Structure 1
Amino acid sequence: MPTYHVEMLEGRTVEQKKKLAEAITRVSVEILGGAPDAVDIIISDIKRENWATGGKLWSEPRT
């Protein structure tokens, strides 16, 4: 079964991450089959100073 790597800006709660993991697992089993225990999800929280979009760090003020 699959292993998912989820990278997102830090700040989500443990409850939000739990719900995300449950949803990804549920959809994976519905579409791909297999057992929920075979779905791995790795969540990485990235500091805003380590993520840039459009050449601008997310730690910088947005306009």
Structure 2
Amino acid sequence: MPVVNIQMFEGRDSAKAQIAKDVTESIAKNAGVDPQYVYVIFNDVKTEDWAISGELFSETVKKSG
């Protein structure tokens, strides 16, 4: 039973169904697992809760534009 945990910035709800479908199909095909046993978990993250290069992503976005 593969479990795929996807963390991404919040606000991409409209893409989740297609992402889940694509990930499930890929795991099923490449790992030989029945798709009904593939679990995909989405964790929405706020930009102020994500850091890159020691800086909050929300601050990086403000600087770039």
When the two structures are superposed, what TM-score results if normalisation uses the length of structure 1?
0.88
Structure whose residues are more often helix by fraction? 2
Within-5 A mapping of 1:38-49: 38-49=37-48
Q: 2:34 maps to what in 1?
A: 35
**Structure 1 unmatched runs, 5+:** none
Distance 2:63 2:2 in 1: 36
Q: 2:7 maps to what in 1?
A: 7
Structure 1 vs Structure 2 CA RMSD: 1.1
| Identical counterparts, % of pairs | 35
Letter in 1 for 2:52: T
**Structure 2 unmatched runs, 5+:** none
